DNA sequence: TGCCAACATGGCAGTCACTGCCACTAGGGT
DNA sequence: ACCCTAGTGGCAGTGACTGCCATGTTGGCA
């Protein structure tokens, strides 16, 4: 056979084995998402997901630490994508831009899947808990100073609320722009603090 | 024996059976807190807690839905106490006052236990996840409009950060005032939004 | 005082998430 | 043709949590 790697066109950037791994991973994710959508995550067992994906239950756990994680890949990818764009201390408008840019690079199939996941999250309590846990763990890992942490989590609240609102509207068939909604949510937060600092100066 | 109830002085406001229930509940909570502090929540089994509290494992689950919940009673009580003081739309300074008032009524043994729990939370990842879950569920139950929800969760972020900071300082032997810290955290949030609304008007 | 109903608990068996271990197979490099 | 390793499956085990039933305990009431 041909030596893979350097001379082949960069179709998928990975060697054969890795491509298989990614494929199985995707299979499991799809199966989980499908089953969760139909029966809810708490009515679905790992054995079912594994069977639907054509792997053994043991293998399932080699790809995902918990059954909930199997459905949250896209969600995690989105968070990560935003996080990598927001490094160090930044202003709120910069974050809004980062969200917009990230949304742009997710356009197409990924955005559909993200929508699907977020819709699921709005109805599936168990899954929502898991998503919250992932989010919290990410925040906890950062371990910066108080200011960094508070800013991080405050933005997270806005992002989560915006995603939920966005998913709700889209699920109802309406049109909705995530960036616009995110801006609105930030505005709500902003109004909370109107005059809060002034008061102490006077 | 005497007929309990109407003619007795209102020592504890409850009948005998309820008092026993509360006692067992307290026993379990104490046992859980103790074991978690010493070995961490993930190294502690329900059977251990139950044995330490002098009840059967089956009974344990009649009092608490998960083993983590057993240690979070005080934490929950504190949140509930604040929440009952903050009804309907309120301003941030009013919330600060509510926190101060709640802290006042927790003075003494309850505040020590709250401190113990929050210190635990800073080191025990598993327990922290559970606390986050409880918090999230409370938010999710409210189900108000977007604005209510965002405000709720934004304040929650501040409260949680303040509690962690407070616990960290107190654990290090330093003195720290929760209300003061909470105010600082709000100030951090406030500064995030400085000029955010202005920009769009100009 | 004695009986009954409701409550509180314990024990048991079962489900399910998740893990460690070992054995097997299939690719890929030499 | 040979090994070597990554990927997989199976199996047994732990531990959280639940439903069911049997037992003891308590409070009310005749």
Tens-binned pLDDT, residue by residue, of chain B (202 aa): 333 333 333 344 457 788 899 999 999 999 999 999 999 999 999 999 999 999 999 999 999 999 999 999 999 999 999 999 988 778 999 999 999 999 999 999 999 999 999 999 999 999 999 999 999 888 888 878 999 999 999 999 999 999 999 999 999 999 999 999 999 999 999 999 998 887 655 4
Tell me the pLDDT band of A64, cut-offs 50, 70 and 90. very high
Residue nearest to nucleotide C29 (CA to C1'): A3
pLDDT at residue A86 is higher than 90: no
pTM: 0.88
B169 touching A, CB under 8 A? no
Residues B153/B139, Cβ–Cβ less than 8 Å: yes
Tell me the pLDDT band of A202, cut-offs 50, 70 and 90. very low
Q: How far is A34 from chain B (nearest CA, A)?
A: 24
Q: Which nucleotide is nearest to A61 (CA to C1')?
A: C18
**Residue contact A150–B93, C-beta within 8 A:** no
Mutate: best of B137, B143, B146, B159, partner A, most A CBs <10 A:
B146
Tell me the pLDDT band of A200, cut-offs 50, 70 and 90. low
How does B104-137 read in b/e, with b if 16+ C-beta sit within 10 Å? eebeeeebebbbbbbbbbeebeebbbbbbbbbbe
Residues B125/A163, Cβ–Cβ less than 8 Å: no
Name the 3-class secondary structure at A114. Answer: helix
Q: Residue B52 has which token pair? A: 């330490």
pLDDT at A17: 84
d(CA A89, CA B196): 16
d(CA B181, CA B152): 18
pLDDT at B199: 60
**Residue contact A129–B136, C-beta within 8 A:** yes
């Amino acid at each position: 056979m041909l030596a893979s790697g350097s001379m082949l066109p960069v179709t998928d950037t990975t060697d054969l084995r890795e491509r298989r791994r990614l494929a199985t991973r995707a299979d499991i994710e799809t199966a989980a998402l499908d089953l969760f959508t139909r029966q809810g995550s708490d009515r679905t067992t790992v054995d079912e997901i594994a069977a639907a994906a054509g792997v053994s239950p043991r293998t399932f756990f080699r790809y995902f630490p918990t059954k909930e994680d199997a459905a949250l890949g896209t969600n995690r990818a989105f968070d990560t994508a935003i996080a990598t764009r927001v490094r160090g201390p930044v202003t709120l408008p910069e974050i809004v831009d980062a969200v917009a840019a990230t949304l742009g690079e997710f356009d197409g199939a990924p955005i559909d899947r993200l929508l699907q996941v977020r819709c699921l999250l709005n109805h599936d309590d168990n899954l929502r808990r898991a998503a919250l846990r992932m989010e919290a763990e990410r925040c906890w890992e950062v371990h910066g100073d108080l200011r960094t942490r508070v800013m991080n989590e405050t933005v997270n609240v806005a992002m989560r609320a915006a995603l939920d609102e966005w998913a709700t509207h889209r699920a109802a068939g309406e049109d909705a722009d995530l960036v616009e909604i995110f801006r609105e949510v930030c505005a709500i937060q902003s109004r909370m603090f109107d005059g809060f600092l002034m008061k102490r100066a006077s």
